[in-house]
Homo-oligomer: A and B are copies of this chain.
C-alpha cells in the first residue's frame, strides 16, 4: 500500500541551489529516509537554509519521487532556534553535557531565543504542515527530532483529526536532566510531543526515560503511543560504496602508510562523542604497552561540527590540544601515534571502516551511533568494536562488542589492548554476528516498525 506521508525535518534531503539545481545532502536522516521516498507518496517539509532555497519557499518543488516544500524563517529567529535553543541547549540536555555548576544560565536572552526563535520557527513549520493537510487531509505527518518538539501540538490544535508521528533521534534523558529548563519550557516540550499519535525512540532505554519524564512532569501515561524502532543502514549501499573509486583510492592511501595495527574512530567533533577521553585512553594503552610503540596508530577522522556554537569551537580546541599532547609525548622518527583529520570526507571514512583492527565508539551518550553499524559491514580485517554502554547501538550489538564505560579511560585503554590481542577466530565470530544482525535489521525494518505503529493508530481510529 502506497501511503501519503508529510515528512517534516529541519534539514531536507537535498540542497537546492539558486538556479534550482538539486544536490543530495549527506545527513544520516536523509539517507535513512531514502527508501521511504521510493515506496510511499511523500511531501517533505524542511527549512530553507540558503538564499537560493529561501527564494523557492512557498512553492511545491516536484523532485524525482517526492515533493519538497521549503519553509523560510526570519534569519534572526532561525539563529536563535538553531544555534541557541536546539544546539546547544536541547542537544546538551539530551546528552547530559552541561557543567551544571556554571552552565547553562537561562537568562533573558535565552527566554527570548525560546519564544522568538524556537517557538516561532515551530509555528512556521506548523503553518506549512496545516496548509499541506488542507490539500491532503488523509496524509499522516512524520516529524523528526529535537528541532520540532512544539510543532505537533500546534498541528493537532489546527487539525484535531490529523495523524501525527514523531521520531526522536537523540537519547531521551531521565527527568531530572529536563529540570535544567524552567518548568514552562520542559512542559511545553513534553506536551508538544504527546500531541502525536506515535512517538518513536531507538531503544527501550530512551523510550522508558520518556515515559518516566512524561509521567513525572505531566502525570500522563502515554505508553500506548510509543514505539521502539532502532534506526539502521542500507547494507547494499555500503557494499557498493566499499567498492567505489573514491573509497578504493582513499583505502590505498591508508594501506600505504598504515602500521601493523589501526585503531579507528569516525565522528563529528561533538562533545557527546568523547573524543578527548578517547585520546587519553589511547595514551594509557601506549603507556602500558611500550612493545606496541611504532606498531599501532589511532586514526581519528572527525567531521567539524557546529562551529558557530562556542561549546563546539572550544571542544575542537580541546581535541587538537589532547591529540598534540599525546603525539608530542610518544612521537618517534616517522611514527606519530595519533593521525587526526578534521574534515568531512565520507569516502575516507568508509576506507577506514574497511581497514580498522579496532573501532573505538566511546560516546558519552548517543541516540544510536550508526558508525557502529556501518563500519563492521565493510571491514576486511576481522576488526573488533569497542562500544560505549551509553550508545543506542549497544542495546543491539553489545554482546559482540567490548563494552566500555565512557568515563573510564583506564577501562578503554584495557579494551584496546584486549581487542588487539584477541585471537582471530573470536574476532571473526564477533564481527560476523554484528554483520548478520545489521543485515537482518536494516533501515527498512526501522521504517516498517513505525509504519506498523501508524497502522495500528489508523485501525483504532476507524473503530
Instruction: State the A residues within 8 Å of B (CB).
Output: 96-108, 110-111, 173-177, 179-183, 209, 271-272, 274, 276-277, 280, 284, 315, 318, 364, 389-390, 405, 407-411
Contact = CB atoms under 8 A, between A and B. Distances in A.
A272 B106 contact: no
A169 to B, nearest CB: 18
Contacts of A182: 405, 407-408, 411
Contacts of A176: 96, 173-174, 177, 209
B407 A180 contact: yes
Contact of A108 (B104, B173, B277, B410): B410
A409 B99 CA distance: 16
A352 B461 CA distance: 63
Nearest to A104: B407
Contacts of A411: 106, 182
Nearest to A109: B410
25 contacts: A97-B99, A97-B100, A97-B101, A99-B102, A99-B103, A100-B364, A100-B407, A101-B271, A101-B364, A102-B276, A105-B277, A106-B405, A106-B407, A106-B408, A106-B411, A107-B284, A107-B410, A108-B284, A173-B176, A174-B175, A174-B176, A174-B177, A181-B405, A183-B389, A183-B405
A93 to B, nearest CB: 10
Given A174-B177, A182-B407, 20 more contacts: A97-B99, A99-B102, A99-B103, A101-B271, A104-B407, A106-B405, A106-B407, A106-B408, A106-B410, A106-B411, A107-B280, A107-B409, A108-B284, A173-B176, A174-B176, A176-B177, A176-B209, A179-B390, A181-B405, A182-B411
A280 B105 contact: yes
A104 B406 CA distance: 10
A180 B388 CA distance: 12
A104 to B, nearest CB: 6
Contacts of A276: 101-102
A179 B110 CA distance: 30
Contacts of A110: 410
A288 to B, nearest CB: 9
A437 B117 CA distance: 43
Contacts of A277: 105
A387 to B, nearest CB: 14
Given A106-B408, A182-B405, A101 B175 contact: no
Given A97-B100, A176-B96, A179-B389, A105 B409 contact: yes
A103, A173, A179, most chain B CB atoms within 10 A: A179
Going nearest first, the 3 A-B pairs with the smallest beta carbon separation are A99-B99, A101-B271, A174-B174
A62 B177 CA distance: 48
